[in-house]
């Protein structure tokens, strides 16, 4: 690996003009140490940095690039759209095409509104649930991330009713107090909150298969029990599939676990790498949304023609080529090999996988919730991360992120990744 000289110089300059030198905190490498490579380009499964290094990429922009970097069907669609103008502030046929495609792929959605980020989608979904039910409280799960809107930057406070406390300065106490947080995979804790506050709860918002504490899978029957609980109390169920949509399966985790939410949030893959996210659901609920209904939500670049073109191209290719099923099979092979490599090195890991997503947790026991995830051996993760990077394998720079594969990842890429992991796991073992 060539030294990151140019990246370090650019990072120093970036820090003068951009907080932390990055436009999203996780990219700063703060949790693993060291400086991030600055990227020159992506192609297929590869990233190339400005210092001349090539990496096999398992970040894939934190999920969007299901087909890999710069897939021709996407880049050609975007180039053609750009030649017709980049934004109109007026309705276009492409928005109808993508809306119909999304509603076909996610049948629980009768209608959908396009926005520009997952944050915007979940923020709008919460407002919609409150508008539809006339209730104030929202329930979320500790360790689930839904973007950075105030109501969702809240963690569990002390006290029986787990009233929220701000997770960030700038979030007011009043905002936090209507967000209740409970541990994931703990049904009794959720039942207790509903027993105390059920009539005030507008909705639960949840990642059905959380990917923001690393990949954590719901226990058998847990999602069904949540659905029944919301129906019992007249609360809505908002399923945040910004990450799991078109990643866990073509129909998202709701199709895998046979759950019908009231509202679904999508993002990442839906835009093929351009800024598209969406919220949608039952017609009766979506008719509350302006201009049809009184709940206001708007956006200058929502439904942007370039982003629509990228999303249509990516989802159409995905659907016509059975991409999700193919990646599920390939991911199983890769993660079995990674688990075997760790076992051979005597390093205790958990390697949960779902569709085209996986996490390598440095933990002796199964990771079922945020407490389990934060108990992982973070020093071991750092050694693993940097060894893999040095060997040309680009992983998310945090134990609490999910890895992604793409259609562009070849058998050769996987073989190289497993060989690099053998070296990395040996380094972890030697550090003990
Ligand atoms: P954005 O606002 O970042 O587009 O989406 C927020 C969001 C909402 N819901 C889920 C389930 C998500 O995973 C996300 C964003 N995911 C992170 C990855 N952990 C984005 C990476 C980043 O923050 O830079």
Segment 106-119, tens digit of pLDDT: 999 999 999 999 99
Distance in Å, CA 343 to ligand 1 centroid:
32
200 as an active site residue: the answer is no
SS (H, E, C) 403-430: EECCCCCCHHHHHHHHHHHHHHHHHHHH
For residue 285, pLDDT beyond 80 = yes
* Number of residues in the chain: 432
Can you read off the two tokens belonging to residue 98? 């993508």
pLDDT band at 163 (very low <50, low <70, confident <90, very high): low
How many CA atoms lie within 13 Å of 230's alpha carbon, on the beta-carbon side?
A: 26
Distance, CA of 151 to CA of 127 (rounded, Å): 10
Strand runs labelled E in 18-134: 39-43, 46-49, 54-57, 111-115
The catalytic position among 268, 377, 394, 413 is: 268
The catalytic position among 55, 58, 145, 257 is: 145
pTM above 0.95, yes or no: yes
Can you read off the two tokens belonging to residue 381? 């993760």
CATH assignment of 72-320? Answer: 3.40.640.10
Distance, CA of 276 to CA of 101 (rounded, Å): 14
Does ligand 1 lie within 6 Å of residue 368's CB atom? Answer: no
Cβ 15 vs Cβ 21: under 8 Å: yes
Q: Whose CA is nearest to atom 15 of ligand 1?
A: 147
The second-level CATH assignment, the architecture, of 5-70+322-431 is: Alpha-Beta Complex (3.90)
Q: Which of 83, 79, 128, 406 is CA-nearest to residue 288?
A: 128
Q: How many of the other CB atoms lie within 10 Å of CB of 91?
A: 9
Segment 52-99, tens digit of pLDDT: 999 999 999 999 999 999 999 999 999 999 999 999 999 999 999 999
145 as an active site residue: the answer is yes
Does ligand 1 lie within 6 Å of residue 396's CB atom? Answer: no
Distance in Å, CA 121 to ligand 1 centroid:
11
How many CA atoms lie within 13 Å of 85's alpha carbon, on the beta-carbon side?
A: 6
Percent of the chain with pLDDT over 70: 98
Distance, CA of 413 to CA of 411 (rounded, Å): 5
Domain residue extents for the chain: 5-70+322-431, 72-320
Asked whether the domain spanning 72-320 has the same topology as the one spanning 5-70+322-431, the reply is no
């Amino acid at each position: 690996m060539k030294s990151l000289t140019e990246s370090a110089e650019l990072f120093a300059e970036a820090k003068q003009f951009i907080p932390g030198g990055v436009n999203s905190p996780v990219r700063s490498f703060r949790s693993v140490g060291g400086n991030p490579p600055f990227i020159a380009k992506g192609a297929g499964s590869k990233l190339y940095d400005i210092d001349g290094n090539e990496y096999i990429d398992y970040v894939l922009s934190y999920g969007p690039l299901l087909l890999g970097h710069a897939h021709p069907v996407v880049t050609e669609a975007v180039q053609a759209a750009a030649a017709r103008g980049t934004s109109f502030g007026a309705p276009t046929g492409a928005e109808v095409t993508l809306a119909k495609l999304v509603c076909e792929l996610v049948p629980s959605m009768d209608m959908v509104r396009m926005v520009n980020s997952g944050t915007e989608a979940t923020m709008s979904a919460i407002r919609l649930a409150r508008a539809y039910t006339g209730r104030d409280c929202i329930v979320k799960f500790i360790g689930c991330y839904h973007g950075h809107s105030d109501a969702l930057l809240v963690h569990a406070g002390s006290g029986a009713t787990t009233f929220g406390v701000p997770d960030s300065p700038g979030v007011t106490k009043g905002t936090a107090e209507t967000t209740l947080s409970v541990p994931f995979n703990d049904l009794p804790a959720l039942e207790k909150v509903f027993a105390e506050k059920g009539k005030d709860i507008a909705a639960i918002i949840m990642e059905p298969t959380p990917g923001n504490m690393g990949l954590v899978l719901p226990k058998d029957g847990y999602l069904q029990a949540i659905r029944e609980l919301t129906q019992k109390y007249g609360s809505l169920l908002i399923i945040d599939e910004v990450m799991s949509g078109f990643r866990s399966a073509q129909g998202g985790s709701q199709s895998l676990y046979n759950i019908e939410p009231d509202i679904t949030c999508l993002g990442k893959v839906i835009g093929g790498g351009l800024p598209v996210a969406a919220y949608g659901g039952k017609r009766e609920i979506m008719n509350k949304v302006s201009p049809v209904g009184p709940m206001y939500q708007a956006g200058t670049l929502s439904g942007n023609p370039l982003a629509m073109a990228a999303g249509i191209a990516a989802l159409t290719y995905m659907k016509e080529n059975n991409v999700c099923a193919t990646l599920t099979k390939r991911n199983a092979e890769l993660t079995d090999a990674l688990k075997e490599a760790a076992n051979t090195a005597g390093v205790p890991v958990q390697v949960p996988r779902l569709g085209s997503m996986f996490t390598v947790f440095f933990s002796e026991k199964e990771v079922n919730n945020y407490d389990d995830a934060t108990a992982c051996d973070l020093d071991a993760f750092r050694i693993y991360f940097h060894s893999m990077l040095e060997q040309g394998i680009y992983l998310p720079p945090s134990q609490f992120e999910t890895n992604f594969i793409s259609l562009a990842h070849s058998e050769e890429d996987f073989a190289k990744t497993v060989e690099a992991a053998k070296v990395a796991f040996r380094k972890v073992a030697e550090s003990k």
